Chain A
Amino acid sequence: MNSEFFLAIKYLLNKKHETIIVIFAITIGVIGPLFTAALNNGMQDAFVGNTVNVITGHLQILPEIGEKFIPKSDSLVSKLKDIKGIKGVAQRIQGGVEIESKTKRLNLGVVGINPEEEKKASTLSKSVVEGEFLEKDDEDEILIGTSLAEELKLEVGDEVWLTFIKGHPQKFRVKGIISTGTWNYDRYTVFLTYKTAKQMLDVSDASYIIIRLYDSNKVDEFRTIIEKETLNTNIKTWKELAAGTAGMVKTFGIISFLTSMISIIVAATSISLIIYTTVKNKTRDIGVLKAIGARNSMIFYIFLIESLLIGVIGITLGTIIGFCIINWIQAKPIIMHPEAGMQLIIRPWISIQTVIITDFMILATCIIGGIYPAISASRISIIKAIWSG
């Protein structure tokens, strides 16, 4: 066995309690950033993912500047459906409505959807938690979100009165209640069929078209293709449309990560302290080692190996425990209720790349923590060391 490694292990085993405490500190120092990153990924999925899945789509065609509608949207949809790589296309109409239940009256947004198209272009049809999704020919039926149902004390089958900008109040029946995990759709929107919305809002064509791709990463490529094929220029990607939400979650992630950095600094300080204490306690040993022929570099490596061993054990334990915690929470996800009735499911996950980067950063911190005491040890004068203590 290498003499530096041999002595490093012997020194560590000689102070088992201190070593275990520092390893524990490193373990916590690893779990912290790993879990924060995983939680941030889960939140990105919950906030941004839900928004993209039901509200924005991967790409969205909007009316040209100054226009309120997309003219000839039916033929545009047909063209889009022929483009390879596009999973689904759906026209939507949006406007405002006043809703009145037995208990309350509220002003909300209204979205007209084509149920059949939505099944491919969004996950709206899968978000029904009570009742049924709309069908193409439904005329006096609506979908509402869980939070709105709670607010208006509505259940499937209940009747409400809707008043559109142009027109008298009309009676509608709640056909289904959806839970999308977005504030906008769960609390502030009523869904009608596209045909009914067109009539009620008295509009000529679609307000916007959502497009779902097979590969969400190819949005820029498809925007160019769609621009060429359809000559529409006002096309937005989900990154642009959900930028606000993504930015908010990202900011939360950065703050959390910086907070977890404190645990890394604590870990590095612990390592530095334990190695420095060893160096102080082993000053005479260091002198004797040098006297029997150890080079300064050997002394340096003994103490660097010590901090590396502590770091590697702590990082390995932290990574394993971190993975276990993340997997456990994935199986039993965090369910948040930001509004009454609204449900936000957060499933943390972490990529191998993030694990490698985090572990590497902490290992580097451990090495930095060990370098100063290791250098101090290597520079100790033999005579002073032998006669110390």
Chain B
Amino acid sequence: MTITNIIEIKKLKKTYLLGKIKVHALKGINLRIKKGEFVALMGPSGSGKSTLLNMIGMLDYPTSGQILIDGIDISKMDENTRADFRLKKIGYVFQFFSLFHELTALENVILPMMIKGERNYRHKAMELLNSVGLAERANHKPAELSGGQQQRVSIARALANDPSMLLADEPTANLDSKSSEQIVDLLKNLNKERGLTIIMVTHELNLGEKADRIIWLKDGKIEKPLSYP
């Protein structure tokens, strides 16, 4: 693996048990993603996009194979090390925004920093909200924000601990087309300005095309691996 690859995946398999039936969600994925690359994972429903993203994001364990992040094999890490790794290295943006409804936008952004044990988080959180254009909505709760605004808060939260990669699982699935464009443009800007590696799962080709590379998945396999730009 060269130093420029942030992610290297080797023969990754994931099999689920649905009752007594084995479902092969991933069937031996091999993949490399460069540092600072913006990658879109696309494919039909059930193709394994989200499963792959969850494996990279360390939300789930592979059945077999290896995932190396910054050269570190994450497949065999224990529970606490994985949690610490997620906290410091990975930012996650969910399809359903998944903000904490009891907390304001500002508190939602502050939370990962609190978990990490940082002390002067308020100023940084305000800067992040400012960078996603929501400084004036800092003290509003999620219920008082639009879907697009909630997703932007979610992105600000994902950036709170300066992760080396940002994983977005269908971040525009619940947004109108205008908001979807704005969110993907925001991700694109973060990728360019911060050199942040972004992996985004999406169904929409027009949004996927804004990425540096599209990886197509079908039936748990990479179908059309496009060459590096």
Interface residues, chain A, CB within 8 Å of chain B?
A: 1-3, 6-7, 10-11, 13-14, 284-285, 288-298, 382-383, 386
Contact = CB atoms under 8 A, between A and B. Distances in A.
B94 A386 contact: yes
Contacts of A1: 114
Contacts of B59: 290-291, 382-383, 386
A243 B88 CA distance: 69
B49 to A, nearest CB: 14
A292 B54 contact: no
Interface stretch (B76-84, B176-184, B186-194): B76-84
B87 A10 contact: no
Residue of A11, A292, A382 with most chain B CB atoms under a 10 A cut-off: A292
Given A3-B115, A10-B107, A290-B59, 12 more contacts: A2-B114, A6-B111, A7-B111, A10-B102, A14-B101, A289-B115, A293-B88, A294-B83, A295-B79, A296-B80, A383-B60, A386-B59
A291 B116 contact: no
B112 A13 contact: no
Contacts of A2: 114
Interface residues of B, number: 29
A16 to B, nearest CB: 12
B57 A285 contact: no
Given A11-B102, A284-B98, A382-B60, A290 B114 contact: no
Nearest to A291: B92
A11 B102 CA distance: 7
B83 A293 contact: yes
A296 B81 CA distance: 11
A6 B107 CA distance: 10
Nearest to A13: B102
6 contacts: A10-B103, A285-B98, A291-B92, A292-B87, A295-B84, A386-B94
A288 B94 contact: yes
A292 B112 contact: yes
Nearest to B60: A383
Contacts of B60: 382-383
B202 interface: no
A295 B83 contact: yes
Interface in B52-110: 54, 57, 59-60, 79-80, 83-84, 86-88, 90, 92, 94, 96, 98, 100-103, 107
